[in-house]
Each structure stands twice: as structure tokens, then as C-alpha cells.
Structure 1
Amino acid sequence: LLQDFKVGYILGGTPAKIQKAELIAVVVASLVMYFPLALLNTAFGFGSRQLAAPQAGLMAALAQGIVGGEMPWPLVGVGIFFGIAMIMMQVRSPMLVAVGMYLPFETTFAIFVGGVFRTLGDWLAKKRGFNEAQHARVENAGVLTASGLIAGESLLGLLWAGLVALALAQQPWLRVAAVWAKRLTSWQFFTHPLYLVGIVVMALLALLMIALPLTAAGDPKEPAPPTAMM
């Protein structure tokens, strides 16, 4: 919600208009999200390896523990004191530490790889002597590129789920597609020598995530984008 208000402020929107848009979005999302969620649940099932949903699982465990009276409160207290200790130690982002503790390793490792790409991009931008405005444009381009990858990964996941769900129709070509869909969404795929293809794709992805934003630096005399002035 805070991001929506910030974007609305940059674009000249008012709080009233933003609130109206939020209410409309809630209704539209409620009507639309049922279908992809039902498709994913039919194909893989929530809580499986393909759809671990760690945050949803954590919230469900907390709700069940509180309602059922089985909440391990001593562990919750340990977590609270651990958070206070990190704040007193002036840890840059205690929330990220906490998130990394309950997310699966494959997720946190992917976040780490993204951080490496970001660090390399910032280092190259500094080495090229970009000013503050250029650095802001590079950062904006990187965020947009990463957002596109996130959206593309989500759409591809829906495609795999659709293939698996349609395989229930007993169509031979659909069953073959479903097998490959499951391999692509599980660690079994990486036991095959084709994992080298994944390494090549990762290298190309690194080139895209680092080189593409740097090309958006623009002229040093150009004014900074709105986000750089916030």
C-alpha cells in the first residue's frame, strides 16, 4: 500500500483516488485469482515441493497454533529477543535475516544470486563514473528488468501447471508435456547432464541483468528520474 501511495504521489494522484483504485483492485483480484489458484492446486497442490509457499505455510502454522492453543510460545519469545538483539547490534536489515531463516535454500540462494548481479552492476556503474542521476536510471532499469523476469516466471509456472492439469484428459502428448513440466519444476531435472544448459542460461541472465541496465544510464546532463528525487 505504501508503494502505491508513493507511485501515486509521483504521478500526481490524490489519496482519495488511490483508495478508490485499491478497492476496485480488491474486487477484480478476488474474481480473477480464483482460476490460476485452482489450476495450481490441481496440478501440484499447495505445500508440495513445486509449490512450497513457505510464507503461507508459516502464517497457517501460526494461526493453527494460536487457535488450537498449541503455539510454542517459548520459541516465539526466543525469536523476539533475537530480533531485539539484532536491532541493538544495528544489523542493516533484521527482517531479511528472519525471512532467510524460514525460506527454503533454493529460494534464498536465488535471492543471493540476484544480489550478486546487483552488486556487480553497482560496481560497474561506479567504475564508469556515473553521477547520481545516471545511477538512478541504471537502478530503475534494473528493477524493471527484474520485475519482468518475476512476471515471466509466474506466467511460465502457470503454463507448466496447465500442462499438468490437462494431462488428466489422458492425451498422450499432454502426458509427455506434463512429465517435462514436472522435471523442470523439481530437482530431478538437475540430475541429468542437461544441468549445464541451466548454467549457460544463468550466464546469459547475468549478462542481461547487468549489461541492459547500464545502457540506460543516459547523458550525465539529463535530470534525474522522479525516484532519484524522493
Structure 2
Amino acid sequence: FGGIAPGDISTNLMSAAITSAGASQAGDMMQDLKTGKLLGAAPRKQFIAQLCGICIGILAAVPVYFLFTKAYKLGGDELPAPAAQAWKAMAEVLNEGFGALPPHAVTAIIVAGITGIILAGLRQISSIKPYVPSGLAMGIAFIVPAYYSLVMFYGLVVWLIWKAIAPKAVEKYNFAVASGLIAGEGLMGIVNASLTMLEVKTLADLMLLIKTGPGQIIRYLWSFLQ
């Protein structure tokens, strides 16, 4: 699409996003199928479940996207969208060249690339591998907002304390607790965005909202999304 529509940011960004999303989801689904095979699940039933998940995901993702973009500014502090910012920067570079980048950005890219290669090489040495930081983890920390890194750090501290107190419980419930926290954060994000749209700032506002009834709340949110 870059050759067909040069300089058209929307077309190139859309095609790149579709390609990236398709490849990412295909990788996730193949991993699910492999896991199911190892556990003895029927591939046909897994495929049907994935199709159902796609339909449910479409019905859920589109309204949630409109809810978040109505409640927050896309790319702002509440909804930073780091992946979208990275794609935006890539589209601007392809459209305008390296002149679209901030001063010294090219130098920073070269230094970061060399650092990543060095770290990857050092991690191949088994004697020092535990002490060499992950280049991927460092890269993510540079992309996401600071509070995400802080939350990860707090979670690590809690996990270490939990492991010291009850190592058997950590081994048994580690992934279940982590998955529940991730899912809970996502669900509470939807609730928080809804309350933001409804201008609920205090407990009194929340109590008044509850008294209006669920029907009024749903109609009010729907009027915002239209």
C-alpha cells in the first residue's frame, strides 16, 4: 500500500494495522491450538470456540472502544495508547522521512538497537544470564506510561512476599491470581470509563446514580455513544 498510495497516512496505517493484528492473532490462536493438542482437546471444538470468541470479541470491543474514546482523550494521560502512538510515529516517518522525528531521535534509535544486540548476546552466556536485564522488558518500560512500570514493580514485591510466606500456594495459584488481576483491571477500566462519562466524582454522585435505576443509566450511556 505504500507503493499504491504513497503519502496517504490513513491507507498505509490501516493496511499495516490489519496485517499486524492478523499476524498477532494468528500466532495466539496457533498457540492455543498447540496447547489444546498437548492437553488432548479436539481441534474441531477448539476451532468452533475460537469462532465464537471472535464474534463475541467484535460485539464487545467496538462499544468499549467508543466508550473509552468518549470518556477519555485518545493518547492522553488516561488513555495513552502506546501502541497507537508507535504506529502513528511510524506512519509519519514513512510519509515525511526522518525529518518528522524529534531531534537526536535517530541517534537514540541506533544506541538502543546496539544496546539490545549487546544484551541479547550477553544473555547467551549462562553464567551471567540471571544478572543481565531483558532488552524486551526495558523496551516496554520506555513505551508504556510510568505508572504501568510501577504497578508491575508493586506486583513483583507482593509476589516475592507471598512466595516467602507460602511457596506452595504460589506454585498452585500463581497464574490464576495473576490472570484474575489482569482481567479485573480490564473490567474495572470499563466501569471507570462509564462513571467518568456519567460525571460520577464522589460517593454522593454514585448513590444518586444508583437511585436513578439501571434503565436510565443504560439510556444515558447510549446517548453518549451515539
Q: TM tier, shorter chain?
A: 0.5 to 0.7
The one-letter code matched in structure 1 to 2:67 is: L
Q: CA deviation at 1:85?
A: 0.8
| Matched residue, 2:36 | 8
Runs of 4+ in structure 1 off by over 6 angstroms are none
Point out where structure 1 has 5 or more consecutive residues left out of the alignment: 127-134, 178-230
CA distance in 2, matches of 1:20, 1:145: 28
| Matched residue, 1:25 | 53
Give a deviation string over 1:78-132, Cα, whole Å, max 9, x none: 3221110111222353211211122222110110111112222233345xxxxxx
| Matched residue, 1:63 | 91
CA distance in 1, matches of 2:117, 2:144: 21
Point out where structure 2 has 5 or more consecutive residues left out of the alignment: 1-27, 124-131, 210-226
Q: 2:114 aligns with which of 78, 81, 91?
A: 81
CA distance in 2, matches of 1:92, 1:55: 22
CA distance in 2, matches of 1:164, 1:43: 6
Aligned residues: 164
Aligned ranges 1:119-158 → 2 under 5 Å: 119-125=160-166, 135=168, 138-158=170-190
Percent identity reads 29
Aligned ranges 1:83-122 → 2 under 5 Å: 83-90=116-123, 91=132, 93-122=134-163
Cα 1:150–1:14 shift into 2, 3 Å? same
Cα 1:46–1:140 shift into 2, 3 Å? farther
The one-letter code matched in structure 2 to 1:156 is: M
Give a deviation string over 1:112-167, Cα, whole Å, max 9, x none: 111112222233345xxxxxxxx4x6334122122222222222221121122234
More displaced 10-residue stretch of structure 1: 8-17 or 148-157: 8-17
| Matched residue, 1:207 | none
Q: Which has the higher contact order (CA 8 A, sep 6+)?
A: 1
CA distance in 1, matches of 2:188, 2:55: 25
Cα 1:162–1:125 shift into 2, 3 Å? closer
CA distance in 2, matches of 1:68, 1:26: 36
CA distance in 2, matches of 1:94, 1:107: 17
Q: CA deviation at 1:6?
A: 5.0
Q: 2:196 aligns with which of 160, 164, 168?
A: 164
The one-letter code matched in structure 2 to 1:93 is: S
**CA RMSD of superposed structures (Å):** 3.1
Give a deviation string over 1:25-48, Cα, whole Å, max 9, x none: 334312321101101110112212
